[in-house]
Amino acid sequence: MTFISSLLLGVTSLLYAAQTITAVPYASNSLARALVKRDQVDFEDCGGDDDDKRKRAGQAWSEAANLASYTIDGKLDDGTGFKDTNAFKHYFNDADGDTTDKMYGGIQAGSSGDRGNGFQLKFIITCKETDDCKDSLALTDAKPNKDDFTAKIRLCPKFFTDDRTKNFLTSKTLKRNPGRRDNSWCQPGQPFTFFETASHTFLHEMTHLDQLGVEAGLFPDNKGADDTHGTEDIYQIASGYDPGSPEKSSRKLKDNWTKYDKDNKNNKPELQRTENAESYAAAATEFYFQKNCGWDEIME
């Protein structure tokens, strides 16, 4: 969810209330990649290094970068890569592959700093509550960075308590064919909401950043002086999409494009598939669990 000047969607110590802290993300030891210190990403109003909000915010960012990394390097048991799986095909078409590579690559490399061209993300992770947080998990002010402005991803109070964001990739095991008492992500027959994590939402928010939209080659939104190249949310700008089920709305967007491409008499969708934030988050989450649990797909 983003706001560009105005909202499109929707108690730290005094020591930290007026300062930012250079980011040192907390990567899980069980994940394939770890983030390194990034001088251009700061934490604001999330407390000190040992504060629970600070740790959770850092881990959400760390795991979001790992979800992106899986789409680049990961393969299913039979060797199938991301773009040949249902995780990709539920949300994108073959023609989108170059753009998704650049978006996921920008998230991973911009966070971990391992790209040869030195691409670095610059944004602030803030835990400060505002009135805009009322019904939101997180918000992103996605205007382009300037000398007097740095984009912010705002983690609202609900981000730290809601069922959709209370878990991390490390909150459960990846034991395949688990028993009924096993705390495993690989429980069969679960809907998409079962697999949502803080990292899923954080990746969604990252795609709203102008820097990543530019990196992925997205066109600006042409909404005024502060045009952003970042993604938008289809359920915020068009009717017929369910804001309570972003991943279902994203699959519907892809299906609507398929209908339009077959017969231009159908209404042209308001966003390209690659311009919708949840498409990236949902596809990456699906692929992560398809790969680790040995599945073909995840239900809506």
Range 171-174 contact pairs with CB under 8 angstroms and sequence separation of 24 or more: 171/197, 174/292, 174/293
CB of 92 closer than 8 Å to CB of 254: yes
CA 110/CA 37 separation, integer angstroms: 11
Question: What's the CA gap between 242 and 249, in Å, rounded?
Answer: 6
What is the greatest pairwise CA distance in the chain? Answer: 60
Give the torsion through C-alpha atoms of 139, 145, 148, 149, to 10 deg: 0
pLDDT for position 77: 94
Q: Tens-digit pLDDT profile for the chain (300 aa)?
A: 654 433 333 322 222 233 332 233 333 433 333 444 455 789 999 999 899 999 999 999 999 999 999 999 899 999 999 999 999 999 999 999 999 999 999 999 888 755 454 678 899 999 999 999 988 999 998 889 999 999 999 999 999 999 999 999 999 999 999 998 999 999 999 999 999 999 999 999 999 999 999 999 999 877 655 688 999 999 999 999 999 999 999 999 999 999 999 987 778 999 999 999 999 999 999 999 999 999 988 877
CA distance 233 to 300: 18
CA–CA gap between residue 12 and residue 48 (Å, rounded): 9
CB 68 within 8 A of CB 55: no
